[in-house]
Amino acid sequence: MKIDLIVGARPNYMKAAPVYRALNKYPEKFQVRLVHTGQHYDEKMSHIFFRELELPEPDIYLGVGSGRHGEQTGKIMIEYEKAIIDNLPDLVLVAGDVNSTMACSLVAAKLHIKVGHIEGGLRSRDWSMPEEINRIVTDRIADYLFITSLDADENLRAEGVGPQKIHFVGNTMIDSLNYYLPKVKQLNLRDKYPIEENKFILVTLHRPSNVDNATILGELLKVLYQIQERLPIVFPMHPRTRKMLTEFGLNDILESAKNLIITEPLGYMEFLKLESTAFLVLTDSGGVQEETTALGIPCLTLRENTERPVTMWEGTNELVGSNPRKVLERTNAILNGERKTGKVPQYWDGHAAERLVAVLLG
């Protein structure tokens, strides 16, 4: 079976790397091409992840770069179709919910190539999120839906997807976390960050709903200023967030915060070290909600909804939205000892990629 494994943006790499390793254990069964769309393309958001996750140079690099959603999706479709038209795969494997996921799925479907969706069935039910559109379109045309949790099964069946297409394999991103955590524990970041393990808060912010609105972003920064007076904050800043801070003239708030450490985007290993040793994480990322649940670290998600509710039902995640009062209230409660405990969901055990490959082996 000739398989194209698609990666394009930072969240894809951790989901795809374990699958790539698992497929290559069966060279007599699978011929794998690694396809990088170039949706994320710079050193901090792309290349360092390839190296750290032990992925080889891609067999196909589309180099589409940034752009508006329609423009980027169209570019990926045009370039991917060109790249494969003379040598079609039997299966296209896509992960997650980024533009690369939907674009390559559409190309495959129109060329009558089977599609497998790693992390299928997740739903936020928030149509203002481009990721929700990407998820729903990809799931509708996929032949294999590899799900991370049982609520995804319920979502897909409610939408009329046949049960024969749905395969509960677990979370391949947690495969990466478990695989690299022993190495991460050996990292010493004390020279780089003036913090002590379990005595700092980790923050990530990048979603348009939080950073593209000057009022919301300004209020969240004021909350971070108050929080850092109690416990140091490490804030690896996404390029989008940095750009909007400058546009809105909000840098002054951060510059006066003595215990707020702002960094460039971090590689996987360094970020995982910080995430696994934080006292608390504040985020609007989907993947971080899952990683903190697997690590048992309390997480406050600065969104009104989540496509990963299992992290709330079973894990350590809480939704607090972007209301500054609620964010501060819940942060202070956790700092005062009201830590939410949880359990690791079923099949988040480091063997999801093996189960996925077993499905393809039949």
The catalytic residues are 206
DSSP, collapsed to helix, strand or coil, labels residue 19 as helix
Which residues contact residue 163 at a Cβ distance below 8 angstroms, ignoring those fewer than 6 apart? 157
Cα separations (Å) of 238 from 191, 223, 241? 23, 18, 5
Q: Which residue has the tokens 């040598």?
A: 87
Strand partners, 262: 235
Distance CA 267, CA 249 (A): 28
> How many beta carbons lie within 10 A of that of residue 249, not counting itself?
10
Distance CA 268, CA 314 (A): 25
**H, E, C per residue of 267-315:** CHHHHHHHHHHCCEEEECCHHHHHHHHHHCCCEEECCCCCCCCHHHHCC
**Residue 213 phi, psi dihedral angles, 5° rounding:** -115, 120
Distance CA 261, CA 199 (A): 14
How many Cα atoms sit within 13 Å of 72 on the Cβ side? 20
Which residues contact residue 114 at a Cβ distance below 8 angstroms, ignoring those fewer than 6 apart? 90, 91, 92, 108, 143, 144
Strand partners, 319: 301
Roughly how many angstroms between the first and final C-alpha of the chain, as a whole number?
12
